[in-house]
Chain A
C-alpha cells in the first residue's frame, strides 16, 4: 500500500485541506471590504503582520506540497503506464479497480464515505441556518467534512490492505 500512489492519494488531499484551512484563517481574520456600487466593484483585504505571514506561509506550503504531489504523480505514471492518473481527472484517482477484489474494497470504503456525507452535510446546513455561525466556521465545517471523508476512505482501504499482507 505504501508504494501505491492511489492508495495514499487521500493523505495528499487531507494535507491540501489542512493548508487550505490555514489559508482560510489568514484571509478571514483581517478586515475584508467588498464594495459593489454602480461605479465600482472591488474587494479590499487588509492584512496585519501575523495574518499576512499566515497567508504567505500557507501559499508557500500549498505550492511546495503541490510540487511534491506532482512529482509523485509523475513517478507513479512512469512506473504504471497502464494505470496513469491525470491531475485533471474528474473521476477520483483513489478508486482501486484493477480487479474485482479491489473494486469490492473500494465499494465498501465509498459506501462508508457516502453514509458519512449524507449525515454530515445536512447537519452542517442546519447548523449554519439555525445558529449565527461566522463564515470562517462554515468554511471549517466544509473542510472538516472533506477531511473526514478522505480519512474514512483511507482507513477502510488500509484496514483491508493490512489484513492482506503476505
Chain B
C-alpha cells in the first residue's frame, strides 16, 4: 500500500485541499482520496504533487513497510 505525507506537507504550506487541487489540476476530492490513502495517484500526478509541495517524490510517497522508521 502506498503511504504519503500529502496532508502534512499541504498543512506546512498552508494550502487547502482546493488550493493544492488547483495547483496540480485535480479536484479537491481527489486530494482528499490521496490523503486518506483510498487512491494511489499516477506517476504524473505524484510528480506534480511533489513539485507543488516542494519535496522529492520519494519523500512524499513510499510503500508501506519501507521508511517506517524514518517517518
Query: A and B: real partners?
Result: yes
**A-side interface residues toward B, CB under 8 Å?**
98-102, 104-105, 160-161, 163-166
Q: How far is the CB of A5 from chain B (nearest CB, A)?
A: 15
Taking a contact as CB atoms under 8 Å apart, the answer to whether B26 and A165 are in contact is: no
Interface of A is mostly: helix
Within 8 A of A (CB), among B16-71: 16-18, 25-34, 36, 38-39, 41-42, 45
Taking a contact as CB atoms under 8 Å apart, the answer to whether A101 and B17 are in contact is: no
Taking a contact as CB atoms under 8 Å apart, the answer to whether B26 and A101 are in contact is: yes
Number of chain B residues close to chain A: CB under 8 A: 19
> Total contacts A to B, CB within 8 angstroms?
48
In the complex, A161→B33 CA distance in Å? 9
- In the bound complex, residues from chain A placing their C-beta under 8 Å from that of B39 are 100-101, 104-105
Q: How far is the CB of B35 from chain A (nearest CB, A)?
A: 9
Given A100-B42, A100-B45, are A164 and B36 also a contact pair (CB < 8 Å)?
yes
